[in-house]
Amino acid sequence: MDSKEVAKELNEPNGDVTKERDEKFLVDAAEINFEEIMLAQLAQERSADQNVKSLAKMLEDTHRKLNTDLQTMGSQKSIAVPTAATNEVMDDYTRLSEKDPKEFDNTYLDMVIDNHESAILRLESFSNSNCEECDGAIKVWAMGLVPDMRIHLQKVKDLKQTLSSPVSEAVK
């Protein structure tokens, strides 16, 4: 069974202890972290560009730490979160791993951009909501992630622009 589904199932009986919106947010955040970690590991193995590899290493390290924080928070709040990559994450990993070496870096960077843009929207939506029943500590944690996620997103966009510039193409 998919680890996201397991987490959702484990959270169902806790409806009176924890809030559904907090549970969904933490489960989704864990899924995002696992995807970033796995794709970053693949990029470190497959990319021919040292800048892509360095960026991937930084993203892997950051998302590993976030995942550890997330697991701790889930435990403290009695919220089950995925402990392994979901089926959807595995599908994205497989899709990326099958890319031709010439397409790999651009596809990886596009996936990271999409993931970070989506994550920022989720973080802001959750942390800025007027959800009275949402856990304050989880909202503060989410809000604290936004600046770093924006920095990561800009780094990825800058690298993508550098890789696709005419000068970069001429060097290859």
Tokens for 4, please give them: 């996201």
pLDDT digits (tens, 9 = 90+) for 31-53: 999 999 999 999 999 999 999 99
Superfamily of structural domain 3-171:
Ferritin, core subunit, four-helix bundle (1.20.1260.10)
Residue 157, pLDDT score: 97
Report the pLDDT averaged over residues 70-99.
Answer: 92
pTM, whole model, 2 decimals? 0.85
Distance of CA 130 to the CA centre of its chain: 24
Residue 3, pLDDT score: 79
Domain spans, the chain: 3-171
In terms of Cβ atoms closer than 10 Å to its own Cβ (0-12, 13-18, 19+), residue 68 is exposed
Residue 103, pLDDT score: 94
pLDDT digits (tens, 9 = 90+) for 101-141: 889 999 999 999 999 999 999 999 988 887 777 888 999 99
